[in-house]
Chain A
Amino acid sequence: MPIKILSVDDSRTIRLIVGRSLRPYDCILCEAANGEEGLAVAVREKPDIILLDVTMPVMDGVTMLTKLKEDPELKAIPVIMLTAESGRDNVIHIARLGVRDYLVKPFKEDQLIDKVGRVVALKKKETAAPAAASVPI
């Protein structure tokens, strides 16, 4: 079974970079542009891991994380924060809510793969495919 990864970021650029980074791996990428959409996709797709931005319109990443951790069906899904914000209070608050790791933007693609690979077992695709399978928003 391919690993299912949910990328929640209002920036299409970041979602494209995440998709490009994961292209060599056997995984399904789901996407959402804000926390509200992220929660809906998480309920529907039950991803193995969530990559979550902080500053987003409609619902920010901290609110989404709080709601995720309150939901018995979703709270065990590991979350890696992917954000430019690394202020002390924010980081401590987010750590207390419960995240597996934290990657500060800008990031290198191999840093992302390294952090994701520590949480879920990423396997390289056996044959080259044109693009990673993805689930649209």
Chain B
Amino acid sequence: MQDGASYQELSRRYGFAPKPESASRLTQLVSRQDSDLDEIAKVIDKDPVLRKRLLRVANPDAENEIEYAVETVEDALMRNGMGCVLVLAMGTPLALALTKTFQTMLALKLEMIDPNEAEPLQGEHLLGTIHFSGKVVGQVYLRMSIDSGNAVAAGILGLSPDELTDTNEIRDAAGELLNIMTGNFKSNLCDAGLDCRLQTPEVKLSTDFRTPIVPGGGVERMALRAGKIHLFVDVTANPWND
């Protein structure tokens, strides 16, 4: 069967939720290698959440806003370049996909918190990684405590944490969470012209907290919380891998 409908028509037909405009616009701007920094600064300045996150990325050693040495969007862009803006643009659909997944499948409200204020993970934890490659190359890391992993898997499967005895079910649920997050952000990248492919997610128990940064790229660290469940998401990316 041939279907010549446009994406807009198909979105309506299938009932797709609208995508966040600032993230789409930002990804489109970054995907053009000749983009004007002023144009990007205007988009970020209009979105208080993006602005806050950019300044946090630009001041990695500061423990709070008072310690920020870089205080404006323009300075942050000059110092950190496009790789940093790209991970910010990608982080938005990732965080939204996670939030929506929790709301839809676990009936829990997930909120973003300042990673500096989150209680740090310690020792053995659940680590999910997924690699993407194409015009943009990078990796998404999802970390959570074993207790959080149990609670997430139980919530998704409609069980109580005590009923979960199979560690494969916990890993599979964490992998699906990662899949849903990255599938959404991959769509955002592809729509902006940064075509890429996802590898199958890998979930394992780990004591490794390192997030290797792609040479010349950026990294964004996010922390999210819903009750006792804490999630840590790192995104690394390097655009224009031609």
Contact = CB atoms under 8 A, between A and B. Distances in A.
A102 B179 CA distance: 17
Interface in B184-240: 184, 186-188, 190-191, 198, 200
A85 B195 CA distance: 13
Interface of A: 10-14, 16-17, 20, 54-55, 57, 83-92, 95-96, 98, 101-108
Contacts of B156: 13, 17
B146 interface: no
A91 B104 contact: no
27 contacts: A13-B156, A13-B169, A13-B175, A14-B176, A17-B105, A17-B157, A57-B200, A84-B97, A84-B180, A84-B182, A85-B184, A87-B186, A87-B191, A90-B187, A91-B7, A92-B5, A96-B2, A96-B3, A96-B4, A98-B1, A104-B17, A105-B179, A105-B183, A106-B97, A106-B104, A107-B104, A108-B104
Main secondary structure of the interface of A (DSSP, over half): mixed
B16 A88 contact: no
Given A91-B7, A92-B7, A95-B5, A13 B172 contact: yes
Contacts, number: 95
B88 to A, nearest CB: 20
A37 to B, nearest CB: 15
B144 to A, nearest CB: 15
B101 A106 contact: yes
Given A84-B97, A87-B186, 19 more contacts: A10-B200, A11-B175, A13-B172, A14-B176, A17-B105, A84-B180, A86-B16, A92-B7, A98-B3, A102-B10, A104-B14, A104-B184, A105-B101, A105-B179, A105-B180, A106-B105, A106-B180, A107-B104, A108-B105
Q: How large is the interface on B (under 10, 10 to 19, 20 to 34, 35 or more residues)?
A: 35 or more
Contacts of B2: 96
A70 B113 CA distance: 50
Given A10-B200, A14-B176, A86-B184, A95 B10 contact: yes
